[in-house]
Every structure is written in structure tokens, then in C-alpha cells.
Structure 1
Amino acid sequence: MQVTQTLSEGLKREFRITVPAGDLDSRVATRLSDLQGKVQIKGFRPGKVPAAHLKRLYGRSVFGEVLQEVMTEANQKIVEDNKIKLAGQPKVSLPEEQAEIEGVAAGKNDLAYTVEVEVLPEITVGDLKTIKVERLVTDISDEQVDEMLARIAEQNATFEPKDGAAETGDQITIDFVGSIDGTPFEGGAGNDHPLVLGSGQFIPGFEEQLVGAKAGDEKTVTVSFPEDYRATELAGKDAAFAVTVKGIASSQNAKADDELATKLGMESLDKLKDAVREQIGNQQKQASRQKLKRALLDALDSTHSFDLPPSLVEQEFAGIWTQVEREIAQGGDAAKEGKSEDELKAEYRTIAERRVRLGLLLAEIGEKADIQVTNDEVTRAVVERARQFPGQEQQVWEFYQKTPEALAELRAPIFEEKVIDHIVELADVSDKTVTREELFADAESEEV
């Protein structure tokens, strides 16, 4: 087998592969010889089938197997001899002329074909110790704990029927029919719907107009749908709801006390407070970690530049753009930016390039630091994923055991977080105390 490089342009390489006809014929003959002692053909004793007859029956399928074997060996030789890392699957271009193909299959002609590959760039990692970032931290106040306890108490309160007018915090039971310009709209009606006034369950202005209503009242509630309403056909439009109040109930036992703690499986209110404080702390640690990770990635992105494999960028961009198109169709944020499709594509292509650059960089850092993801870590991730599908745990487990690609998708974020931990250990990280509002600002829009 002869492998000759014919092109080196950026990250693109092209090779010419030539396999002598004798080599192919020898491989085919060896495989047919192996078959001779295994196959059973009517009219012949085991192991006595003539080679020529076997070749007529199985020659094409055996040649296909040999061809696949040869291409796999050639790809390995390309990688090993040239000491390159592939960015994707090689693109193989086999002969197209039927006469040439038949000549190769018949063992008369040498096999000659081309292989195009895209290689990963050589990445020089900067000194990670020079990275300076701040880790945002915040204290847990007693007020935060009390606020969460109050919400928990409200969520676990019972409601008892009451006479008189409805007040904020009461639960009313209503029938309603919504219409726009006198025409009812889809999804705008409901019967026996429980609604806690002040909960914000309905669009702004709806619940406030029912404060003071009594059981049996029929009211018309007029509201305007928000401009960014998820149902774009309703966004910004005025609507009228015919509402019948069928019952009113007041909240009972909405207190944070030992009784609530016992109801939730805690020994006492103090134990419940400890659990709430721990939960708040975990939320803040997660937000702090996300902010720190973003800062580290920003620093890495701004200090490293190298060629990106076009195929990886295109693949990443395609995934992003599919999501953007879905959001545009649903009237999401992407549809309200007032930008042309070309402007949006340019913007999201930059995001795709950033993601590919950082992915390659983190992989290089992890490889140089010999960071490994253990089987136990992957197993725990599979177990955690299975728990998200109650009653289907066994099916989820079997799916991951049979699907290496799915396991790789679980392994990747574990590896990334371990690399981030490694960078944190080396970088100059200082803590900065901020308010809770600052810590959680723009949490949903964090693009790492």
C-alpha cells in the first residue's frame, strides 16, 4: 500500500492511496480460503467447495469486506505516519468508472483512490497561571431564609371556603372564556379553575380585577397580552374575559412553624431552616461557579487564536441555527432583535467559532494535564439520567450501555468541568462579595 500526500492547505490534507492488485487478490483469496471450511453448499462436502465456485458465490461480498479493511488501514496509516489528529471522518473518493471498478474487483487493476481529511490545529496553550479572574460570592441572610420559608408555607397551605369578598392571597374557583374583538380564541377558556389571587399565574392585570369579587359574581376582565407573549398570535392584543366566580377559599396554616416542618418530614423548624439555608447556599454556589467559568472562558478565548476546522464550525453553527429558527417560528427573542437573517447568521457563526475554539482548547489543556473521566463517574451520570425517567430506569440504562455515542455525550461535560477545575487551581482567582441580585444577574443568558 502506497500513501502519497497530494495537498496541504490550511487544515485540509489530501492523500493518494494505491493498493497493488496482487495485494487485494491475496487478501480476497485468504478470506475465501477461510470460508471454504465453514460454508455448507449443497452438492459439496464440507471443506471441498472449489475456490472458483466460492469466488462466484461470495467474491463480491468478500471483495467489499477487503475494500473496507484496506480503507481502514490506509486511514490509520495516514494518521500514524503524518502524526495528525483528525477533526472528522475522512472523505474517501473511490473510482467512479465502471470499467475501472470491475478491473479492480477482478484483480486486474491496482486500486487507486483519494482521501481528504481535515486535521485539528496545533494549539499552544498559554500560561494558565497568568489568568486573573474574580469569583463572585454572596452571604446568605436571615431575610433570604425567611422569604423562602414563607414561600414554602404558602405552597403547602390548605384552603377553606369563606364568605364575603375575595382578597389577595385567597383562592377563587372560576369559569372563564376569553375573546378578542368578540371572537373566542384557542386556549382562552377554562372551567373550575383554581386561582390564587396575587400568584401571577395569569397575565398582568387579570387577578387584580377579581379582588373584591364574591361567589356567584359574573365579571368581565379586560387585559392586554404582553408584547413578548409566547403565543405570538395573541401578543400585544386586547382581550376580554367573561368570568364566573364559583367559590372563594382563604389560606389556612400558611405559617413557617414546627407543624410545617413535620409535614415536610423535618424534625423541627430549626432543621427546616438549616435545609433551606443549605439549598440557598447550593444555588448561590452554582451561580458563582457559572460566573467564574464564564470569566475563565472569556480569558482563554481572548488570549488564544488558531485556525478552526471548517467542518466543526459548520456543524456547531448548524445546531445553533436550527434552534434559532425554532425560536423565530415561535416568536422568541431571536424574532424581536430587528436584525436581518444575514446579520443573525453572522452573529451566531461567531458564537459557533467561539464554542469550537474553546472546545478544542479545553481538550488540549485536559490532554496535557492527563485529565481522565473514570468509568465510575460515567456510571454515576447514567444513573442520574435514569432517575429523570421514573419507571423507565432499566430502559435508559440499557440504552446507554448499547449506545457509545450517548455515553460520550455524558462523558464530555464531566471532562469539561474537570478541566475547568484544573484551570481554577492554576489561575489567580480572588473572591469578590456582591449582592444576590448581582450574582444572579443575566443568569439565563450566560453563554459559555
Structure 2
Amino acid sequence: MNITQEKTGNLTAVVKIKIAPTDYSEKIEKAIKDQAKKAQLPGFRKGMVPAAHIKRMYGKSILVEEINTLLSDSLSNYIAEQKLEILGQPLPLLDNAKDFKWDNTDEFEFDYELGLAPSFDVNISSKDKFTQYVIKADEETLDKRIKSIRRSYGKMSNPEVSEESDVLYASATQVNADGTDVEGGISSTATLRLDLVKDKAIAKTLTGLKKDDEVTIDIKKAFDDVAVVAKALNIPEEDVAAITDQFKVVVKNVNRLEESDLNQEFYDKIFRAGLVTDEAGFKAKITEEVEDIFTQDADRKLSNDIYEQLLSNHKLELPDEFLRRWLKATNEKLSDEELAEGYDDFAKNLKWTLIENKIMKDNNIEIKYEDVVKAAKAKLDAQFKMYSPSPLPEDQLAQYAGQFLQEKENANRMFEEVKALKTFEQIKSVVTLDQKDIDYDKFVALTTG
């Protein structure tokens, strides 16, 4: 077998693989004999089919299969031996394809195009400076979080007059501008969560209402969310777009989730028994929780700043035309328009992956299975805390993490998250981080503006 490589560009090459009969004849004979031993054909006892008969019937298909296997193995071994860093997968050059007799005497030749990764160094030092924001929990945010938790553990009541966080059960009827019912319009029992009303004027209209009170509102404007409107009116989401009229709302009942009392029973429900014994301790724990979330937000901002800066500093060249052909070859449903629209983002992410891999390699950073398990547990724990601050028992969390990682997609995603975390930790250990205190609302404006 003869394998050669020819550079066709700065980051592209063609590998030529020539296979002579001496490279495959022995493999073909063995494959034929193996199949003869297992074949069950009319007129022959099992295992007694002559090899010549198998060769006559299946010889060509066996040859094709063995040549494909030989090609795949040879190309993979060559790439590994030559230490070629390729992007995507090798693409067969169909234009160079030759006609073969497939009769066990052919000298085969196949050409594959490779896209090669650029050679580069990651240049980072203490001269690279980034702002690390420190966000403190303000009283308004703390009050909202505390109120939410107290309501989660509270009890339901039916007050006479509605307030801004209540739920109205009402009849909702689609009406014309003159107040008459729309013929064939929507008429349903509605559930209106006032905390989801985005229009302040309408929110004010819906507070202070009693049973049997009647108001007319623009429900689409009130919620400004197709899913919320559909759920409120108990209709399919696809029907929301056609709504142009207002709704007459007649209150049937007002529901309120009363806040739980701040007592020991409440503290023990959401924290480990005895961990919190008074209101000050409760607020301190909630402050810790909120600021932990803020820290995660600040870390994401820092990571994004590092990501953008390093990409800007390292102008990596890619074999773009090869990569476009590879994307089309491996995604049959990908249209030219979709490729054109999405290629820049694909290339940007690929460049960052190359930078990540280089940092990992240069610093001998390894990812162990226990790292992935730890990350999965942290992710699941954070999700459970969205519904309850009370932590899951360690054995139960470990069980959920094991089940979560059994899904290959989840395991791959967690591996990539650990890889990103370790990469950013390495970068942050080298660059200069300037800490800066910032109010939460200003931080939000900074990240969304």
C-alpha cells in the first residue's frame, strides 16, 4: 500500500491511497472462508458451502466491504502517524474517482481532501486585563425573593378585593368596540395571573376588583406573550394571533397565595432543621443564595469578555471553502442559504474550540470522569433550588446525576461545560482581573444594552 500527501493550499491537502492486490487478497480469502462456514444456502449443509460458490455469489460485495474497511483504517492510521490536526472529516474527491473492475485484480486508488487546523500559539499574560464585576444583593431583589419563597410555602385564601399578585378566575368574552359580544367569538373561563400582566395601566385596572365586578381589557396587550394569553383564555396558541378585539372580564373569584409566617416551622421546611432560627439568619441565607446567582451572572459576563477578546487577538485562518463543502456533504438537508447565514457563527465557535484545545494541551489539563459527575450534580442541584432552597440529600443527588449522564447527549454537554470551565480557570489564573462593585440594575443594563 502506498499513501502520499500533497498540499493543495495553506490549510488543505490531498491524501492519495493506492491499494494493490497484495494488500487485500489475503483479507478477501479469509472473509470468503469465514462466510462459507456460516452460510446457510439451499442444497448445502450449514458450514459446508464451498468457498468458490461464496466467491461467485458474494465475492464482489465482500471485496467492496473489505476495501472500504481497509481504506478507513489506513486513512485513520496515516492521520494519527503523521500527527495531522484535521478539521471535520476527510472528503473523498469524487471527481477523481476511477472505474474499477472489482474482480480481485484491481489496483485501487482513492483521493481524500483534508482540512487542516492552523498552527498558532495562545498569547495571554498579566498584561491582558479584564473587569470582574462584584454584584451585591439590593433590598428590592432580596424582598422579591423572600416574598416568592414565603408564597411558595404559604396557603391559599379568597380575599374580597384583588391585589397585584392575585389570580382572578373570571369569565372572558370577546366584545366589539360598542361592548356587544363578537359573533362566534371567544367566550371562556379565564385564569388571569396578575403578576404576569406587563401593561401597568391594565394591571391597575385589574386590582381592587371584587366578585361580579366587570372590566373590559385588551388581553393581548396585558400579557404581551402568546403562551400566557393562550393559557389565560384556555385556547390554542395558534388562535391568539387572530385576536383583535377586547374582552369583557367578569370576576368569579379572587385567589391569593398568602405568605407563610416567619417561624421555626417555616425555616426548617426550607433549610436543614435548626440551621436557621430567626429572621436575620433567614435573610442572610437568602442573601447568600441571591449573591451566588449574581456571581454566576458576573462569571458569564467575564467569560464572554475573555472569549471575545481572545478571538479578537488571535486571527486564526481556517480552510473555509473545505469546511463549507464538508458541512454540505455531512448535512444533506442544509440549504445554501442556511449555510451562508450560519457559517460565520460556526467558524467563530470552531476557532474558539481550537483555542480551548491549545490551552488544554499546553497546560496539560485533563478532564476526569469525576469532574463531569461533579458538574452534573451542581447543575441538577441548581435546578432543584429554583423550586425549593432546601438542598437534596447527597445520595439522591448522586443518583439523579448518574441517570442524567446515562444520556449520551447530556454527558457530552457536561464534558464540554467542564472543558470550558477549566479553560477559563486557566486563563483567569494568568490574566489580570480588576474587581469592580456594581449595582444589579446597572449590571443588567451593561449586559443587555
- Shorter chain as denominator, the TM-score bin is 0.7 to 0.9
SS of the residue aligned with 1:208? helix
Q: After alignment, is 249-258 or 150-159 more displaced?
A: 249-258
- Residue 393 of structure 2 aligns with which residue? none
SS of the residue aligned with 1:52? helix
The Cα shift of 1:63 comes to 1.3
The Cα shift of 1:365 comes to 1.0
Q: How does 1:37-186 map to 2 (within 5 A)?
A: 49-80=49-80, 82-93=82-93, 100-101=99-100, 103=101, 105-140=102-137, 144-163=141-160, 165-178=161-174, 183=182
Paired with 1:315 and 1:183, the residues of 2 have a C-alpha distance of 56
SS of the residue aligned with 2:300? helix
Q: In the TM superposition, what whole-angstrom CA distance separates every residue of 1:336-363 from its partner, at most 9, and x where no partner exists?
A: xxxxxx9x99886544433222121111
Structure 2 CA distance for partners of 1:394 and 1:184, relative to 1, 3 Å: farther
The Cα shift of 1:222 comes to 4.4
Match among 284, 288, 291 for residue 281 of structure 1: 291
- Residue 371 of structure 1 aligns with which residue? 365
SS of the residue aligned with 1:378? helix
Match among 410, 414, 421 for residue 417 of structure 1: 421
The Cα shift of 1:149 comes to 1.6
Does 1:29 find its partner at 2:29? yes
Structure 2 CA distance for partners of 1:233 and 1:304, relative to 1, 3 Å: farther
Does 1:247 find its partner at 2:257? no
Structure 2 CA distance for partners of 1:385 and 1:40, relative to 1, 3 Å: farther
The Cα shift of 1:425 comes to 0.9
SS of the residue aligned with 2:89? coil
Paired with 1:169 and 1:40, the residues of 2 have a C-alpha distance of 75
Paired with 1:213 and 1:226, the residues of 2 have a C-alpha distance of 16
Give structure 1 stretches of 5+ with no counterpart. 326-341
The Cα shift of 1:292 comes to 1.2
Paired with 1:251 and 1:399, the residues of 2 have a C-alpha distance of 34
Match among 358, 361, 365 for residue 355 of structure 2: 361
SS of the residue aligned with 1:121? coil
SS of the residue aligned with 1:109? coil
Q: Name the count of aligned residue pairs.
A: 415
Paired with 1:131 and 1:217, the residues of 2 have a C-alpha distance of 64
The Cα shift of 1:26 comes to 2.8
Q: Is the 8 A contact 1:308 1:356 kept in 2?
A: no
Structure 2 CA distance for partners of 1:397 and 1:60, relative to 1, 3 Å: farther
The Cα shift of 1:283 comes to 0.4
Does 1:440 find its partner at 2:444? yes
The Cα shift of 1:249 comes to 5.1
Paired with 1:412 and 1:169, the residues of 2 have a C-alpha distance of 41
- Residue 14 of structure 1 aligns with which residue? 14
TM-score of the two chains, using structure 2 as the length reference:
0.75
Give the aligned CA root-mean-square deviation in angstroms: 4.5
Structure 2 CA distance for partners of 1:68 and 1:379, relative to 1, 3 Å: farther
- Residue 304 of structure 2 aligns with which residue? 294
- Residue 338 of structure 1 aligns with which residue? none
Structure 2 CA distance for partners of 1:35 and 1:262, relative to 1, 3 Å: closer
Paired with 1:351 and 1:225, the residues of 2 have a C-alpha distance of 35
- Residue 430 of structure 1 aligns with which residue? 434
- Residue 328 of structure 1 aligns with which residue? none
TM-score of the two chains, using structure 1 as the length reference:
0.75
Q: After alignment, is 25-34 or 141-150 more displaced?
A: 141-150
SS of the residue aligned with 2:196? coil
The Cα shift of 1:119 comes to 1.4
Q: After alignment, is 252-261 or 361-370 more displaced?
A: 252-261
SS of the residue aligned with 2:360? helix
Does 1:215 find its partner at 2:211? yes
The one-letter code sitting in structure 2 at the alignment partner of 1:191 is T
Q: How does 1:180-199 map to 2 (within 5 A)?
A: 183=182, 190-191=188-189, 193=191, 195=193, 197=194, 199=195
Q: In the TM superposition, what whole-angstrom CA distance separates every residue of 1:374-415 from its partner, at most 9, and x where no partner exists?
A: 1223345567788989xxx99996896584x66433312211
Q: Alignment identity in percent?
A: 20
The Cα shift of 1:439 comes to 3.0
Paired with 1:201 and 1:282, the residues of 2 have a C-alpha distance of 29
